[in-house]
Structure 1
Amino acid sequence: MGPCGLCLGAELHLRGIDFIIIDRCPRVIPVSTALAIHVKTLEIFERLGIINEVLERAVEVRGERLFVNGQMAVDFAFDECQTSHHKFPVVIPQDELEHILTKAIGPHRWKAPLWVHSLEASDQRQQPESTLADATAGMGVSVSVQAIELTPEIIQHCAHGTPLPEGSGLVFRGEAKTIRGKYLVGADGAASRVRQEMGIKFGGKTLPYEYVSADAHIRWGIPANLNRWNCLTANGHLVSCIALTNDR
């Protein structure tokens, strides 16, 4: 479960709507696959009551620099946003944002580690009904889940998002149980198990590029500037990086 699903959970919690989060990973993973937060999202964080904590841990991005073969070629500043009282986007380590959102939701909402065996959706809206209650009574999703042991393979899968290898030897605990709800939100990434089980096609296409995302400590000769996104290119390759808080 990443920031999108957790943000939805925080919205539901704020509105008093009952929900649970099902995840095979039992904790926030200390790596980042996304960093940038735009000003409109910051306004949402205000409504959720977490804006001060987010800004304390974030770095404001006020411009960008391009380095070619070690020499700075471009250094430009972003215009201030004119449609919000937040003037610039920010970046924050993903795990720190997830910790903030998890605290806003409440840990009792998180049911993990659970393995999803199957999903089943029912929809009887095409049948004649006499009342609105009848129309919605047959709608919903059933999810069969079972607790799993935290084996080294599961921990590796959670930490790096790598696929579970064939024959990874899942160790189940207790009996499988069925959770039923009116709605199921598949906030489980591009390779969504929910989307696949529901037979929903993935629109668009995969770009023919590969990239690596990493949190790293770097020693380099480029002048430090916390408020610039740095792009470095040499020998046909590109590295994009920005300094985060806590020397990350």
Structure 2
Amino acid sequence: MPGCSNANSADSHHLLAIPHDIEKKKRRNDGFDTGYLPTTDVLVVGAGPTGLTLACELMRRGIRCRIIEQSDAPMPLARTLGIQSRTLEVFERMGIVAQVLRQAARVDGNNFYAGTKRLVHMDFGLLAKDHSIPYPYGASLPQTTTERIFTELLQASGADIEWSSELVDFWQEDDAVVALLKHPHDGSDETIRARFLVGCDGAHSIVRKTLGFPFEGTTYEGETLHADVELDWKKSHHEIHRWWSGFGQLDTVPMPGEQRWRLAAFVPAASSQEVPRASRELFQRFLHERARENTAIARNPTSLANFTINRRAVTQMR
């Protein structure tokens, strides 16, 4: 049944017959009638990792799709970088796993500390005992790089991201979804038909809001701060290192490049003061207080950022 969805799902059947009244419906673009509405099998709203993965997989299966993104360019800041073993299997199926692994930092384990004492060591290599797991390790690659790889794959398949394209409204017909798009870069609008519309447009999803789907969950009371730094220390660059202390949590995740690390710290909200902005001085203090490390941060950090984390999900996908 054709329809609107917040799930990464579609099928490969051909378009159903379009009723006469829909087929003859006109659209207006730049003030001129331009004939019949254009059609696509799937309209993907949002060009983040989820939307790009879906679009690439649809094109790989010969399913026509368009992918639109409200922003005018890829985001410059990578908030995430972790890639799990199972994700590498998906990347192999997509044909990009070798490219990802060439550019990523390999992650073979995870360590948890209290001060200088290591409490837990997780050896991902133990996964190799299960011969059904082809990648007994994880990887670390900035989201910006992963999205670039997806985009190149999408372009090679004959599609591309339509930047500065906003979904304004949509409605359900008998055998299609009709969507109204706005293109602010040239002031035009467009009405199209799609057999499926899939919302991959994040926390402020117009797809979810228009469908009236609840977005249940919680928002963490505080902020996560991160910075990409160079650290000259003896910790393994193929493992994650995490500290818990009375001062709070500090994570250090290996990044591509010699001695490159992503530092991330959670700072709880306090009624008496605002959460400080991420800075070199602040992360130097975190290393000393939370990790009992006197290692100096070399050079100025990049990707300094504060953001809040939500743990939410829609209650239904379609």
Q: TM-score, normalised by structure 2?
A: 0.60
Number of matched residues?
A: 207
- The partner residue of 1:8 within 54, 57, 73 is 54
Counterpart CA distance in 2 for 1:213 and 1:116 is: 31
Q: Which has the higher strand share?
A: 2
Question: Could you tell me whether the CA contact under 8 Å between 2:179 and 2:193 is conserved in 1?
Answer: yes
Q: Does 1:242 align with 2:253?
A: yes
Amino acid at match of 1:105: L
Give 1:86 deviation, angstroms: 1.0
Q: For residues 118 and 142 of structure 2, what CA distance do their matches in structure 1 show?
A: 28
1:73 is matched with which residue: 118, 123, 144?
A: 118
By how many angstroms is 1:75 displaced? 5.1
**Which residue, 27, 52, 58 being the options, matches 2:98?**
52
Query: Judging changes above 3 Å, is the alpha-carbon distance between structure 1 residues 181 and 227 closer, same or farther for their aligned structure 2 residues?
Result: same
Q: Which residue of 2 aligns with 1:39?
A: 85
CA distance in 2, matches of 1:194, 1:58: 33
Match of 2:228 in 1: 216
Residue 92 of structure 1 corresponds to 141
Q: Which whole-Å CA distance do the structure 1 matches of 2:176 and 2:117 have between them?
A: 56
Q: 1:61 to 1:211 in 2, by over 3 A?
A: farther
Q: CA deviation at 1:44?
A: 1.5
Deviation for aligned residue 1:33: 2.9
Rg bigger for which structure?
Answer: 2
Alignment RMSD (CA, Å)? 2.2
Distance 2:95 2:102 in 1: 13
| Structure 1 gaps, min length 5 | 123-137, 150-172
Kindly report which structure 2 residues correspond to 1:1-248, keeping only aligned pairs within 5 A, or say none: 1-69=47-115, 71-74=116-119, 76=121, 77-78=123-124, 79-81=126-128, 82=130, 83-106=132-155, 108-122=159-173, 138-149=174-185, 173-202=186-215, 204-212=216-224, 214-219=226-231, 222-246=233-257, 247-248=260-261
Using a 3 Å threshold, how does the CA distance of structure 1 residues 232 and 60 change in structure 2: closer, same or farther? Answer: same
**TM-score, normalized by length of structure 1?**
0.75
Q: Which has the higher contact order (CA 8 A, sep 6+)?
A: 1
Partner of 1:161: none
Q: Which one-letter code corresponds to 2:151 in the other structure?
A: T
CA contact (8 A) 1:65 1:231 kept: yes
Q: Could you tell me the percent identity over the aligned residues?
A: 25
Q: 1:175 to 1:85 in 2, by over 3 A?
A: closer
Q: Distance in 2 between matches of 1:214 and 1:80?
A: 29
SS in structure 1 opposite 2:187?
strand
